[in-house]
Amino acid sequence: MTKKVVEVAVGVIKRDEHIFITKRDESQHQGGLWEFPGGKIEAGESVTEALTRELKEEVNIDVHSSQSLLDIEHDYGDKCVKLFIHIVDDFSGEATGLEGQASQWVAINDLNNWAFPAANVAIIDALQKQ
- Tell me whether residue 35 is annotated as binding: yes
Q: What is the CA radius of gyration of the chain?
A: 14
- Neighbour-count burial for 6-35, b at 16+ CB within 10 Å, e otherwise: ebbbbbbbbeeeebbbbbbeeeeebeebbb
- Tell me whether residue 20 is annotated as binding: no
- Tell me whether residue 91 is annotated as binding: no
CA–CA separation, 56 and 51 (whole Å): 8
Cβ-contact 8, 40 below 8 angstroms: yes
- Tell me whether residue 58 is annotated as binding: yes
Q: What angle do CA 127, 13, 67 make, to 5 degrees?
A: 70
- Tell me whether residue 117 is annotated as binding: no
- Tell me whether residue 116 is annotated as binding: no
- Which residues fall in the annotated binding site? 24, 29, 35-38, 58, 120
Residue ranges of the annotated binding site for 8-oxo-dGTP are: 24, 29, 35-38, 120
**Binding site per annotation, positions for Mg(2+):** 38, 58
